Amino acid sequence: MSEAEFPLWEVFVRARRGLSHQHVGSLHAPDAEVALRRARDLYTRRGEGVSIWVVPSGAVSASDPGEKEPYFTPARDKDYRNPTYYELPREVRGL
């Protein structure tokens, strides 16, 4: 394969107004304009979206999967951040 490959882009699609863009997959394209066009053809053939973002994959920084446990554990220790942590009188309403 003598040809250089086009860069990889991550594709995000907003399914409809009021929802946030969600990651749907990735594709190769020479530039952002072509990436958008390809994303439209590849990921919205059946009206799956009203808006598309494309982001060069290399521009996405990510947390290290190996550090998963220590990195995310603190939040799980803090049960008191969740509403179900609190015990309230049975008869109370509207809380």
Partner 1 sequence: MTTLSETGSSTGTGSRFEELLAADERVEPRDAMPEAYRATLIRQIAQHAHSEIIGMQPEGNWLTRAPSLRRKAILLAKVQDEAGHGLYLYAAAETLGVSRGELLDALHAGRQRYSSIFNYPTLTWADVGAIGWLVDGAAIVNQIPLTRCSYGPYARAMVRICQEESFHQRQGYESLYALAHGTESQHAMAQDAVDRWWWPSLMMFGPPDAASTHSSKSAAWKIKRHSNDELRQRFVDLCVPQAEILGLALPDPDLRLDEATGRYAYGEIDWSEFKAVLDGDGPCNRQRIDRRVTAHREGRWVREAAAAYREKRQGAS
Is 22 a binder of partner 1 (CB under 8 A)?
Answer: no
37 binds partner 1 (CB under 8 A): no
Interface segment toward partner 1; rule CB under 8 A; list 12-20, 26-34, 74-82, 87-95: 26-34
Is residue 66 at the binding interface for partner 1, with CB under 8 A as the rule?
yes
Work out whether 30 is an interface residue with partner 1 (CB under 8 A): yes
Query: Interface with partner 1 includes 36 (CB under 8 A)?
Result: no
CA distances from 46 to 4, 21, 43, 50, 60 (A): 32, 17, 8, 11, 28
Q: What is the DSSP letter of 7?
A: P
Q: Are 54 and 32 in contact (CB under 8 A)?
A: yes
Query: Does 47 contact partner 1 by CB under 8 A?
Result: no
Smallest distance from partner 1 to CB 1, Å: 4
User: Which phi-psi region, left, alpha or beta, contains residue 39 (left: φ > 0; alpha: ψ -120 to 50)?
Assistant: alpha
